[in-house]
Amino acid sequence: MTRTMMSTFKAADMTGDRLEGGGKPVACGNKSTGCNDPRSDQFCAMSARECGLIDRSKQMLCEPPQGPVVMLIVLQPIQVGRERMMMECGNMSDHLPSRDGLDVIKTGKGVGAEVREIELRTLDDEQFADLRQAWLDNLVLLVRDQSLADADLIAFSRRFGDLDLAPIQESGRRFVEGLPELYIVSNVLEGGVPIGSLGNGEAVWHTDMSYVEVPPQASALYALEVPPTGGNTSFIDMYDVYDTLPDALKVRIAGRRVKHDGTYNSGGFLRQGVTPSDDPRESPGSLHPLVYTHPETGRPALYLGRRRNAYIDGLDLADSEALLDELWSHVDGDRFGWSHEWRKGDLVLWDNRCTMHRRDAFDPAARRVLHRTQIKGTGRPA
């Protein structure tokens, strides 16, 4: 079936009563519930869960206006909630069929997907395998409405691999007592002392802990308290950034390594025990390839880390700065990214090997508390 044929579908039930659509794509669903997918401007999709068809058998006709029937979809009661029967008008990749009950919906932006109606504490092995594949496919996953104790967050994260110890916070605090894997991202003060890191200011584009020799492969961030506005986290697909570089620029960076600086964190705070240097060639950090081949997907990604104090090995400082500026000019969050507006109970999991992320500033009088874990990398970037 061609995209052109799908682009003007409307939905009708077996009695011939048509859902309202005015010729625009609308959600196939149960008319009596008034179901109408809010994403109708992008595609029409029939979802048992969203349209109130759980535990019911519903036959639907989807037909172009004043044309012959071209598709018949039958929902069987046993399948509802386990498989997503859907059709789309327009963007076939925005709404993915579920895997073993997982409901995976792309953000419609440059990166990321939401996994709906799951409980991370109780995933069985098959569901977890599907979740992990969805993470590799989409780079960033959002799971809302979770109720996770710190032990639950750590246990879920450990299913991906061994965990890194939390880095030292600006206050000199290493980690939460008894939970060395847990890192607190917060602006809250208790007794005049920060309970976490990164404050309330903007956090620039970066890759987590890429200044170490074996950076973490993934990060999981869970929201306990969020401000009413601000503090959004944006993510960018570094596969696509690399893929869209001019061929001549790809040739220039092939085989080159960049120093990922360890002097400052993403909030601009000096790391504990580090003496800053004005010369990035002398600052602490690790050298990694500018083009990183993902060890699981085999895809190349531009691996920049962060801009401040970066240095391309083997170049004089001026040439390194010029080439870095050229590469960073292609880091376009609007084109390749997605910005997440946090809610309490959100968990976001991202692939640290092929994404970067940043955070918006927010009101210092508002409270923002998130807990983070990081899954150890399996080897040096190559």
- DSSP notation for 235-275: EEEHHHHHHTS-HHHHHHHTT-EEEEE-SB-TTSPBPTT--
In a shared domain, residues 45 and 161: no
Confirm whether 137 is domain-assigned: no
Which of 95, 115, 130 is a domain's end point?
95
In a shared domain, residues 82 and 157: no
Q: How many residues does the chain have?
A: 382
Confirm whether 105 is domain-assigned: no
Confirm whether 334 is domain-assigned: yes
In a shared domain, residues 320 and 200: yes
In a shared domain, residues 43 and 192: no
The answer on pLDDT for 49 being more than 60 is no
The model's pLDDT over 221-257, given as tens digits with 9 standing for 90+, comes to: 999 999 999 999 999 999 999 999 999 999 999 999 9
The model's pLDDT over 294-347, given as tens digits with 9 standing for 90+, comes to: 999 999 999 999 888 899 999 999 999 999 999 999 999 999 999 999 999 999
Confirm whether 285 is domain-assigned: yes
The model's pLDDT over 170-187, given as tens digits with 9 standing for 90+, comes to: 555 655 778 999 999 999
In a shared domain, residues 47 and 173: no
In a shared domain, residues 155 and 78: no
Confirm whether 349 is domain-assigned: yes
Q: For the chain, how many structural domains are there in total?
A: 2
Mean pLDDT of 127-138: 97
The model's pLDDT over 92-107, given as tens digits with 9 standing for 90+, comes to: 345 554 444 699 999 9
pLDDT of 174: 57
Residue 337 or residue 49, greater confidence: 337
pLDDT band of residue 27 (cuts 50, 70, 90) is very low
Query: Do the beta carbons of residue 136 and residue 160 sit within 8 Å?
Result: no
The single-letter code of the amino acid at 240 is: D
Each residue of 320-343: b (16+ CB within 10 Å) or e?
beebbeebeebbebeebbbbbebe
Which of 95, 114, 130 is a domain's end point?
95
Confirm whether 125 is domain-assigned: no
Rounded CA-CA distance 315/344 in Å is 46
* Residue found by looking up tokens 């962060």 in the block: 306
**How much is the pTM?**
0.74
pLDDT of 278: 75
pLDDT of 374: 97
pLDDT of 167: 78
In a shared domain, residues 331 and 242: yes
Query: Do the beta carbons of residue 261 and residue 313 sit within 8 Å?
Result: no
In a shared domain, residues 182 and 282: yes
The answer on pLDDT for 78 being more than 50 is no
Confirm whether 293 is domain-assigned: yes
pLDDT of 376: 97
**High-pLDDT (> 90) share of the chain, %:** 59
Mean pLDDT of 249-271: 82
pLDDT of 70: 35
Give the bridge partners for 312, in sequence order: 258
pLDDT of 20: 33
Least confident range from 8-22, 187-201, 264-278, 297-311: namely: 8-22
Residue 366 or residue 4, greater confidence: 366
Rounded CA-CA distance 179/188 in Å is 19
Domain span at 323: 150-375
**High-pLDDT (> 70) share of the chain, %:** 69
pLDDT of 7: 29
- CATH code at 158? 3.60.130.10
pLDDT of 275: 74
User: Which of 72-76, 278-282, 299-303 ranks highest by mean pLDDT?
Assistant: 299-303
In a shared domain, residues 91 and 165: no
In a shared domain, residues 267 and 354: yes
Which of 61, 80, 95 is a domain's end point?
95
In a shared domain, residues 196 and 280: yes
In a shared domain, residues 168 and 48: no
Confirm whether 106 is domain-assigned: no
